[in-house]
Each structure stands twice: as structure tokens, then as C-alpha cells.
Chains A and B, each alone.
Chain A
């Protein structure tokens, strides 16, 4: 990277962090630290909610996913607007009425202390681990791209977040997220415009290339339990995930509890409902345009440059060079086929179109074979090497092709995303530990100043924990899935408890508590025996469905236990 890029990157990050500290500096009480003085308007809340959900993984993995697999991932978000409406109607008014600091406080009012503590603990375990992954996942990619030490990258991301989150609390988190979101969206839109301008063909032709290569597979109306990316899974299973995440996960609940009024909070959620799918579309579409770009300009054989550089230095350099030559020849044939394809489309020669389309697909599978051979060479040379390179596609494209300054801005996008989601997580972990565990069950009648200090200390504690976890975590096969899976194991149960609370008034605390324990055991059993089965009964369920199963299980078992215990 050039010095201009470094200036843009560090300038952006330090300005945002310093602004957050400066704007929220000064004396605070416990209430304003946790609820941000209830000063947030709807669009700050909306941006804050979006910035919390948009982690660095979103910007690193999603374009790469579109590059390889097309845009079908977007269907996962179709349930989000529905979830926003349900939360606006049923969840927020109750939180506001009870004036809670955390979502779990509600559970004590409705059920009992043990249900509240169970939900708070489940949140802490799951979010505590997720906070580590939120730092680690981008750090491993960024450290490779920038040539930094992994531990140092973890520490840089973690420390900056700890400074402004501990210092300014919820208000600092929301204020910085507003700026971070502007950087993220501005950077991505700019990258999108630049990549489209760099294409050697027209935009219309680019869409044809993408469509013919099945990259515009945005909607699929065929239902399939095993494939989660279809309209129906998005509209059903994903709704449960989003209800749980936005309605009961303190890292999101804390964002809209800082609203000036109930109406402002609702409006923030509705804004998220309107903007999330278009935002995700833009990110995926950029990935597709990068794909089109690389059909006309030679793409790297493997997108992780460090690994190909290592291979060049090794005894396998000769073999690698041969494979690279084959790869280049394949690329040249495929490029000229594309030009023929575009000509056929222009002449409306459908027979020729499908002939060339098949020809390109054969060339693509040959290309994939060469890539596989290179990857197996990488592993032969270094058995520890991770050969999945999807997450490197977008930033490698940025580093190789975008102008000076913009590269720094795009790195600022990734770092901002990592920081904004980590900040919400630490803020929520600090609040939940203080309000639901420490203040409620350990030290019940201390002063306001004492709890303010404890909140700060717990936030810092979780931040340091996340850095430590990030430093020692090993690479997960797919970053997005790892984080989502972690949520899915607990989310269904937590949502089930809240749903019983909101909608099935006659089920009491004891019944829902036992139902939650049984449901969690059921989910863990389903997960760990998935594909293997038990007592000859084999099942294969996608993790997205765990949320729905967990939630419905808590509701049904809860009702059953309540009915039985009455008799």
C-alpha cells in the first residue's frame, strides 16, 4: 500500500475513534452510560443497528461468495423486514413500558430470576465467543493482506474499540457507528462504481455475462430443506433468526433502547428493514462485477498471494509455473469465448449462445481443476496451509486494481466494520454482566458510581477476553457459517423464552425454564448427531432451521409442562 493509503486508513480510524471519545467525554451516571442518555434519533438508531450487524466478515466474505456462488445468499435476508415489523409491534413497546436496561430484565418481570439469569448466561457465552470471532475473522485476512503480525492486528482492532466503548458507553458506540456506516457504504458504493467503469464491456453486456454464468441467481422459488438459500427458507426459518437477533440479543436491543421515544426506536428498526436488502444487494453485486472483470483480465490462480509467493520459493516452483501456464491458456480461450458469446447475444443467435455457454462452462471446470491442483501443491509444500481463498477475492482485487487512496479507504471499510460490530458486542456484554448478573445477584445495593465503574470494567474485561480468544482461535472452515452457527445453537431457545413471555401469558416461569433446558439439549443433540442420527433414525437439518426448532420446542414443551403441572 502507498503512503496515501496508510494516511487514509489510519486517518479515518483514528478520527472516528477520537470523535467518539471527545463527544461523549465528561461525567456520566449509570443510566446514561447504559442507555446513551436516551438521546438517539431514529436514523442514528437505524445506522447503529445496521453497523452492528455489518461485521468485517460481511464485507470480506460476501463479495467472494458472490464471485464463486452468485447472489443467492441475499434470499437469507428476505425474512428481515417481517422480523422488523413483529419486533416493532410486539417487542419494543414492552421493553419501553418496563424501562429495562437489558432485554433479559423483562424475563424476571414476566417469569422469574432463574429464567432471566439463564437467558443472560446463554447470551454471554454465545456473544462472548462471537466477539472473539468478530475480531479474529477479519484479522487473519487483514494481517495476510497487509503483511502484519496476526496478534498485532487483533490488538489494534480490539484496543481502539475498548478505548471508546469503555470511555463513552452506549452513546459513544452509536455516535461512532454513524460515521463508520458512512465510511462503509461510501467506500463500497465507490468501489462498485470503479469496478463497473473498469470493465472492458458495457454494463448491459456485463449483466449478460453474469447471468449466463448463473451469478444472478438471486431468487429461487423451489423449496429445499437442505439448501437454505431459497425464498421460502428466507421467509420462514430466517425470520426466527432475525427475531432472535434483533429482538432478544442485547447487542441489538441496546441500540434501540437508547432512542428518545418509542416511535424513534420503531422508526430505526423500520429503516433497517428498508435498507438491509439493498445494502446486501450492493455488496453481492460488487462481487459479481469483480467476477465479470476477471473474465477479461487474468485473475490470480489462488487469491491468497502469500501462499502463491511461498510456492514460488519452494521446490514445487517448476510444477507451479507449468500449472500457471495452463491456467493462462485456459483464461485466453475462455476470454475469446466470452467475446463470441456477446456477439451471439447481440445477433440474437440462441443456438450459438447455448453452444458457447456450454463451452465456457467446460473451460470453467478445467480452470477449477487447475486451481485444485495448485491448492494441493500448496498443501504438499505446507501441510498447515489453508487453501480456501473466497475471503481474499475482494480485497485482492482492490489491492491489485484500485487507485491509490481508494485502497486505504476500502481497508478502512473493513476495519470500521470490525470495530462497529465489536463495539456493540462489548457494550452489550458489559451491560448484561453488570445489570443481569452482578447488580442482580452478586452486589445488590451499591452506589450508582460503583455500578458505572463495574460496567466500564466488565466492558474492558470482555474486550481483553475477545482479543485473547482471537489470538488463540484456529481458522474455521467458513467464517460466516461459524458465527451464524454459534448463534443458531442458542438463539432458538432464547427466542422461545421471549415468545412464551409475549404471547402465551398462561405459561409460568417454572414451565418455561424447564422447557428451555430441554429444548437446548434437543438442539445440541440435533446438531451433534446431524447426519449420523440416533437409534437408526437419521436426520439432515440445515443450521438455519435450529432457530425455528428451538423456539417452537420451548413454546410447545412450555405449554405441555404448564398443563401437566396444573393437574
Chain B
């Protein structure tokens, strides 16, 4: 794995996006079943 070939910003962006999606899913779960 070559350091300079990896576009880290996509990994970091993906990670943050996953976090937001998870929080949204959790919120949906809470609201749908309360």
C-alpha cells in the first residue's frame, strides 16, 4: 500500500458520512418504535 497513492480525504469523508448515516438510522429506530 503506497502512502502517496491513497486519497485519504475520501476515507475520512466516508468515515464521517458513515457516522452521520448511523446517527440518522439510530434516530429513525428511536422515533419509529417509541
| Chain A complexes with chain B | yes
List A residues at the B interface (Cβ < 8 Å). Answer: 42, 74, 78, 81-82, 84-85, 88-89, 207-208, 210-212, 214, 216-219, 231, 261-264, 266-267, 270, 273-274, 277-278, 281
Q: Which A-chain residue is minimally distant from B2 (CB atoms)?
A: A263
Chain B residues with CB under 8 A of A264: 1
| Contact call B26/A212, Cβ cutoff below 8 A | no
Q: Look across to chain B and name the residue whose beta carbon is closest to the beta carbon of A264.
A: B1
Interface string of B4-32 (1 = CB under 8 A from A): 00101001100110110011001101101
Shortest distance from the beta carbon of A518 to any chain B beta carbon, whole Å: 35
B20 to chain A, nearest CB (A): 10
Specify which chain A residues have a CB less than 8 angstroms from the CB of B32 in the assembled complex: 211
* Known contacts A270-B15, A277-B19: A262-B30 contact under CB 8 Å: no
Interface of B is mostly: helix
Q: List 15 A-B contacts (CB under 8 A).
A: A42-B1, A81-B16, A82-B19, A84-B15, A89-B12, A207-B33, A211-B30, A211-B33, A214-B34, A216-B30, A216-B33, A218-B29, A261-B1, A263-B6, A273-B15
Closest A residue to B13 by beta carbon equals A85
Q: Are B27 and A219 in contact (CB under 8 A)?
A: yes
Contact B16 A267 (CB under 8 A): no
**B30 in contact with A266 (CB, 8 Å):** no
What distance in Å separates the Cβ of A533 from its nearest Cβ neighbour in chain B? 36
Residues A277 and B22 in contact, CB atoms below 8 Å apart: yes
Taking Cβ atoms with an 8 Å cutoff, the residues of B that contact A are 1-3, 6, 8, 11-12, 15-16, 18-19, 22-23, 26-27, 29-30, 32-34
Distance between B32 CB and nearest chain A CB, rounded to angstroms: 7
Selected contact of B18 from candidates A207, A216, A274, CB within 8 Å? A274
- From B8, B12, B19, B29, A78 is in contact (CB under 8 Å) with B19
How many Å lie between the Cα of A433 and that of B27 in the bound state?
Answer: 46
Residues of A within 8 A of B8 (CB): 88-89, 266
Q: Chain A: which residue is nearest B24 at the CB level?
A: A219
Across the A-B interface, the 7 shortest Cβ-Cβ residue pairs? A211-B33, A218-B26, A263-B1, A263-B3, A211-B34, A207-B33, A85-B12
CB neighbours (8 Å) of A274 from chain B are 15, 18
Expressed in whole angstroms, the minimum distance between the Cβ of B4 and any Cβ of chain A is 9
| B34 CB, min distance to chain A CBs, angstroms | 5
The CA-CA distance from A84 to B11 in the complex, in Å, is: 11
Q: With a CB–CB cut-off of 8 A, which chain A residues contact B34?
A: 211-212, 214, 216
Q: Given A219-B23, A263-B3, A81–B30 Cβ distance below 8 Å?
A: no
Once the chains are docked, how many angstroms separate the CA of A207 from the CA of B34?
A: 9
How many Å lie between the Cα of A278 and that of B26 in the bound state? 11
Chain A residues with CB below 8 A from B26, complex form: 74, 218-219, 281
Q: Which chain A residues lie closer than 8 Å to B30 at the CB level?
A: 211, 216-219
Q: In the assembled complex, which residues on chain A have CB atoms less than 8 Å from the CB atom of B12?
A: 85, 88-89, 270
CB pair B6 A216 closer than 8 Å = no
Residues A262 and B15 in contact, CB atoms below 8 Å apart = no
Nearest to B22 among chain A residues (CB) is A277
Looking across the interface, which residue of chain A has its beta carbon closest to that of B25? A218
* A-B contact sample (15 more), CB < 8 A, given A216-B34, A219-B30: A42-B1, A78-B19, A85-B15, A88-B8, A88-B12, A89-B8, A211-B33, A212-B34, A219-B23, A219-B27, A263-B2, A266-B8, A270-B15, A273-B15, A277-B22
- Distance (whole angstroms) from the CB of B12 to the closest CB of chain A: 5
**B19 (CB) vs chain A CBs: closest residue:** A81
Cα-based distance from A281 to B33 in the complex (angstroms):
16
Q: Is the beta-carbon distance between B1 and A208 smaller than 8 angstroms? A: no
